[in-house]
Amino acid sequence: MAAAVDSDLALLDVAGMAEADRLTIAAGTPGAALMERAGRAVADAVDRRTPPGARILVLCGPGNNGGDGFVAARLLARRGRPVTLALAGERERLSGDAAGMAAAWTGPIEPIDGVRPADYGLIVDALFGAGLNRPLEGAVAELVEAVNAAGRPVVAVDVPSGLSGDTGGSEGPVIRATETVTFFRLKPGHLLMPGRSLCGLVTLAEIGIRADVVFTPERPAVLFRNAPGLWRASFPVLAPDTHKYRRGAVLVVAGGLAGVGAPRLSARAALRIGAGLATIACRPEALAAHAARGPDALMQRAVADGAALERLLAEKRLSAVLVGPALGLDGEAREAVAAVLRSSVPAVLDADALTILAGSAARAGRQIARRGAPCVLTPHEGEFARLFGDSGGGSKLDRARRAAAEIGAVVVLKGADTVIAAPEGRAAINATGCPALATAGSGDVLGGMVAGLLAQGMPAFEAACAAVWLHGRAGEARGVGLVADDLPEAIPPLLRELQDAGPEDWSGAER
Ligand SMILES: NC(=O)C1=CN([C@@H]2O[C@H](COP(=O)(O)OP(=O)(O)OC[C@H]3O[C@@H](n4cnc5c(N)ncnc54)[C@H](O)[C@@H]3O)[C@@H](O)[C@H]2O)[C@H](O)CC1
Ligand SMILES: [K+]
């Protein structure tokens, strides 16, 4: 599927947002008009959540984030709301559109020293946004702490002050918002942790930024929020005349007796997401244990040595292979990973396979480049660090994208904010799921889901995004107390929900 030029799922980082501003203004929209609409969106959000008569405190910073705050304060006051505006910095230091908006504010401007957030019913945080360039300190840091301690609803403008819109992290005090009103497109910091938690409800407002000018065939969107609209077009749909082989055959390369459950979880997940066949290739001594777990649709084959595995991998009908869950780390396990990397079957490398490759990402990248078939790696942070080190640091998004480019494969860097990164640069941040997914076997299920979608012909990046999104939704469906064994069975209802959703429901299905 060609990368979308634009999509309402696109994300823009701070620099991309500034460029969007600049391009829109250059195309003829005054910056003041953008600020007026931004401030209006903030005022509307405040109106929606503030009881009549409640006093509103608007905290404005020294830049355009503050400018948005001045607009919101003016509109709220005009709507009869009791508004107090406090400014961090001197009014004379304001410049550009923010100075214009401050001039249009006819009420008093309080200094931030001495303002008491607890005296108000709701606080608007218009201190800092995209221009944050160092940790908050001094009076403004104390003010942020006082706002958080007041326990009042907070509506943050663009991003909670103190939070990086690019990384979702903060190095100093940071506002905990009830709602964050942002503009045109989400930023990575709205979805990456802890930013997603600190933003509260994120409301996206159109303010007149020109998507047609910002995204072009030469400069398509590359960062996305993960949702069905991103991969719907290539999601497998059952053809009337299908048969089990057409639905794809998955091979799960397993280990010995020490790990029978994990590969079975993966294989069941592959079947539940639609693969027609799932076979477990295990060591001879584990065959009886696998057979004893049946009868179910899983097949098992004893793989006594590398040659036997090579033969399985060479079978024409095989359409995807998963190697890693409870594989083990001994010589035979290493040989199994090498055999998979030598094969030209779409592959998922997870768990022990990633540990086996630790420290040799470059060599693995060369082997992957020779495969001529898609490859997806599904590390958690520990496996990622062993394989890629800190991969140049920066945000989770930066690290995953660099790793994907380095190894030439799709990298799924798992967590509460899983990032899916493709080698050519596209990346998506996932926001489905729940803490209950942090349970033994959960990753084995995800690996099987990715393999199951690869087996049905989905391109690697879209397959990984779809599997991650569905895995999260399956976790939400099962909720607290779930065990990994519950997850494969939670997939079919989600598939039916996706199939029943019309195309229009898919564009921005927000999760
Ligand atoms: N297209 C859009 O998204 C629009 C965004 N708007 C708003 O503009 C801000 C970005 O404004 P900017 O002036 O670039 O920066 P800030 O207002 O976030 O910061 C002001 C200023 O503060 C200084 N600064 C940075 N960090 C610190 C710190 N830790 N302590 C003290 N001072 C600091 C720095 O000099 C900054 O320049 C965006 O968030 C939106 O709210 C437009 O209004 C509408 C279009
Ligand atoms: K803010």
* 283: amino acid identity, one letter: R
- Give the per-residue SS3 of 296-309: CCEEEEECCCHHHH
Decide if 383 contacts 154 (C-beta within 8 A).
no
Residue closest via CA to ligand 1's atom 19 equals 131
Q: 106: number of CA atoms within 13 Å, CB side?
A: 4
Distance, CA of 79 to CA of 317 (rounded, Å): 68
Provide the whole-model pTM: 0.95
Q: For position 506, what pLDDT does the model report? A: 42
Sheet with 277-282, side-by-side order of all strands: 223-225, 427-429, 419-421, 410-413, 375-377, 347-349, 320-323, 249-253, 277-282, 298-302
Report, as an integer, the average pLDDT of 296-305.
78
Decide if 141 contacts 79 (C-beta within 8 A).
no
Closest CA to 226 of 42, 504, 481, 472: 472
Helix (H, G, I), strand (E, B) or coil at 9: coil
Residue pLDDT, tens place only, 88-105: 999 999 999 999 999 999
Distance, CA of 376 to CA of 318 (rounded, Å): 17
- Distant-in-sequence, close-in-space partners of 285: CB < 8 Å, separation ≥ 6: 256, 257
pLDDT at position 70 over 90:
yes
* 476: amino acid identity, one letter: E
| 157 touches ligand 1 (CB under 6 Å) | yes
Q: Which atom of ligand 1 is nearest to the CA of 207?
A: 45
Mean pLDDT check: name the lowest of 71-80, 289-298, 325-334.
289-298
Measured in Å, residue 125 CA sits from the centre of ligand 1 at 12
Residue closest via CA to ligand 1's atom 11 equals 64
Residue pLDDT, tens place only, 184-230: 999 999 999 999 999 999 999 999 999 999 999 999 999 999 999 99
Report, as an integer, the average pLDDT of 30-42.
98
CATH dotted code for 7-218: 3.40.50.10260
The strand ranges marked E within 262-335 are 277-282, 298-302, 320-323
Place of tokens 């630790």: 358
Distance, CA of 8 to CA of 279 (rounded, Å): 39
Distance, CA of 460 to CA of 111 (rounded, Å): 54
Residues 57, 60, 65, 70, Cα dihedral to 10°: 70
Distance, CA of 230 to CA of 428 (rounded, Å): 9
Residue pLDDT, tens place only, 425-459: 999 999 999 999 998 999 999 999 999 999 999 99
Helix or strand (DSSP H, E) at 224: strand 223-225
| 133 touches ligand 1 (CB under 6 Å) | yes
| Annotated binding residue 500 | no
Residues 291, 295, 301, 304, Cα dihedral to 10°: -10
Residue pLDDT, tens place only, 354-363: 999 998 899 9
Decide if 59 contacts 126 (C-beta within 8 A).
yes
Decide if 112 contacts 88 (C-beta within 8 A).
yes
Tell me the CATH architecture of domain 228-232+242-469: 3-Layer(aba) Sandwich (3.40)
Q: What is the mean pLDDT of the chain?
A: 93
Measured in Å, residue 132 CA sits from the centre of ligand 1 at 6
Q: Which atom of ligand 1 is nearest to the CA of 20?
A: 1
| Annotated binding residue 418 | yes
| 87 touches ligand 1 (CB under 6 Å) | no
Distance, CA of 304 to CA of 89 (rounded, Å): 73
Domain spans of the chain? 7-218, 228-232+242-469
CA angle 199, 203, 206 (to 5 degrees): 135
Residue closest via CA to ligand 1's atom 21 equals 63
Helix (H, G, I), strand (E, B) or coil at 429: strand
Report, as an integer, the average pLDDT of 180-184.
98
| 65 touches ligand 1 (CB under 6 Å) | yes
Pocket test for ligand 1, best of 65, 137, 171, 190 (most atoms within 8 A of CB): 65
Closest CA to 173 of 201, 198, 202, 203: 198
Measured in Å, residue 441 CA sits from the centre of ligand 2 at 40
Report, as an integer, the average pLDDT of 170-183.
97
Q: pLDDT class for 509, splitting at 50, 70, 90?
A: very low
Which parts of 105-192 fold into alpha helices (H)?
138-150
DSSP class of 508: T
